[in-house]
Amino acid sequence: MPATALRSEAERGNEPDAFWMPFTPMRAFRQDPILFDRAEGMHYITPEGRRVLDGMAGLWCVNAGHAQQHIVEAIREAAGRLDFVSSFKMSHPAAQAYAARLCDFAPEGLDHVFFVNSGSEAVDTALKIARAYHHARGDARRTKLIGRAKGYHGMGFGGLSVAGLGRQKRGFGPLLPEVAHLPLPYDAGLAFSLGQPERGAAYAEDLEKLLDVHDPLSVAAVIVEPVIGSGGVYPPPKGYLERLRAICDKHGILLIFDEVITGFGRLGAPFAAQALGVTPDIITCAKGMTNGSVPMGGVIVSGDVYGAFMAGPPDVIELFHGYTYSAHPLACAAGLATLDVFAEQGIIAQAKASSVTWQARAHQLKGAPHVADIRTLGLLCAIELSPKPGAAGTRGAAGAKACLDAGVLVRGSGDTIVLSPPLIISQSEIDEVFGVIEGALATLD
Ligand SMILES: Cc1ncc(COP(=O)(O)O)c(C=O)c1O
């Protein structure tokens, strides 16, 4: 057993697999565990002191880089001052301040935020708000939800229902009824497009086709990730999101952008909505909000959505929903400090500038062994590999393992290598990431 922490766990006499880990093949992990003990800037550090360049910003979340001192200090200070206060019918100053600053950071017109603790909770909250919005306006017919193929919206029953990754639903049904899905706006002709594909806006017309099947008056909301993330980094074709927006408007359907990955600078703007110039009615966010340091999520809604709930008697709870840890003091402190760091260190401008080199360098891997497609936008990248004959879906993990052995953390998902580095990545680190991947691809059979 190579890792110190696992050895000491065994010495304590604990069950060696006491921690049932998320999305992890437990028995394989115990054979070959990966442990990180510390992190700073662009790097993780193993218990043995080996430095690993983080090509994933943790899990799409540590956007300003690890161990940002201002965030660390803010959490320490908050923990010593106010450990917890409920947000049910009471609050604390940092929650009020953070809500205001977050809404300033969000696209114009999205002025109110409901705090939760994760992306999954954000999505389920947004779906409930969408249904309850129509209900509050006297239109209780609108209950259907439309998601999209390859969409990932977390692990709650709502998010899983609108998601478009079939394997993740196996064994958990029945999921929500009243759900339909748009197809992926992608075809082989869009392979290797750098940034948003020029062609493909017409895929948005599939929404009209779905509405021919499902009475548009029965639909509450359409939910999409502006750029499909976990499903394999699929940027939206130019004009596609604009067209989804127009069709939703035409039919009185709410448009939800799940920005759990694309929020907080990933595309060189606060949210994808600003980067791509399309404003939804509701944004879900999480991950980058606290730079990954404290669990937190948010649902940011338009004045129209919020206003629909505020029409009744003022002493009645408008939304029967919430979580014990909504607006937790440590999370709010970390969120405020993260916005400070973004502003003081110009994190978004850095992301915008380095995404040019990032994307160009990524596309230099065209022609490398096994590479079937490369998709990039902002500081995101997917390198799709052709499936290994007889072992489809294994090349991503094999590639990720080879990269880790060479000192770079990337994510292997099926046959795809996915990248989402901290936004502070330097030019030489960009070269290192893609150089290591190139070397790793050459070793794959
Ligand atoms: C787009 C999107 N939505 C929701 C989630 C779920 O977030 P969490 O894992 O914090 O529940 C994720 C997580 O990766 C995500 O990428």
Q: Do 361 and 308 belong to one domain?
A: no
The values of phi and psi at residue 357, to 5°, are -65, -40
Q: Do 177 and 314 belong to one domain?
A: yes
Q: Do 327 and 280 belong to one domain?
A: yes
Q: What is the mean pLDDT of the chain?
A: 96
Q: Is residue 17 part of a domain?
A: no
Give distance in angstroms: CA of 261 to centre of ligand 1: 7
Among 288, 316, 345, the domain-final residue is 345
Residue to substitute in 115, 287, 296, 380 for testing ligand 1 pocket (most ligand atoms within 8 angstroms of CB): 287
Among 326, 345, 364, the domain-final residue is 345
pLDDT at 6: 60
Closest listed residue to residue 331, CA positions, set 302, 365, 296: 296
Give distance in angstroms: CA of 297 to centre of ligand 1: 10
Q: Do 139 and 212 belong to one domain?
A: yes
Closest listed residue to residue 145, CA positions, set 243, 251, 245, 218: 218
d(CA 104, CA 339): 11
Q: Is residue 390 part of a domain?
A: yes
Q: Is residue 14 part of a domain?
A: no
Residue to substitute in 56, 148, 153 for testing ligand 1 pocket (most ligand atoms within 8 angstroms of CB): 153
Give me the residue label for tokens 């706006």: 185
Residue 397: what residue type? Answer: A
What are the Cα distances from residue 161, in Å, to 154, 157, 384?
Answer: 10, 6, 26
Mark the ranges of the chain whose per-residue pLDDT is less than 50. 1-2
Kindly tell me the number of DSSP H helices and DSSP E strands found in the chain.
Answer: 15, 15
Q: Do 146 and 104 belong to one domain?
A: yes
Among 323, 345, 367, the domain-final residue is 345
The values of phi and psi at residue 391, to 5°, are -145, 55
Q: Do 86 and 182 belong to one domain?
A: yes
Burial of 9 (0-12, 13-18, 19+ CB in 10 A): middle
Atom of ligand 1 nearest to the CA of 154: 6
pLDDT at 120: 98
Q: Do 110 and 252 belong to one domain?
A: yes
pLDDT at 17: 82
Atom of ligand 1 nearest to the CA of 151: 1
d(CA 280, CA 212): 22
pLDDT at 9: 58
Q: Is residue 438 part of a domain?
A: yes
Residue 145, domain CATH: 3.40.640.10
Take atom 7 of ligand 1 and give the residue whose Cα is closest.
119
Q: Return the C-alpha torsion angle 351, 354, 360, 362, nearest 10.
A: -70
Residue 426, domain CATH: 3.90.1150.10
Q: Do 323 and 368 belong to one domain?
A: no
pLDDT at 2: 47
355 lies in which domain range?
Answer: 36-67+347-443
CB 183 within 8 A of CB 203: yes
Q: Do 172 and 291 belong to one domain?
A: yes
The domain total for the chain is 2
Residues with CB under 6 A from ligand 1: 118-120, 123, 152-154, 225, 229-230, 258, 260-261, 286
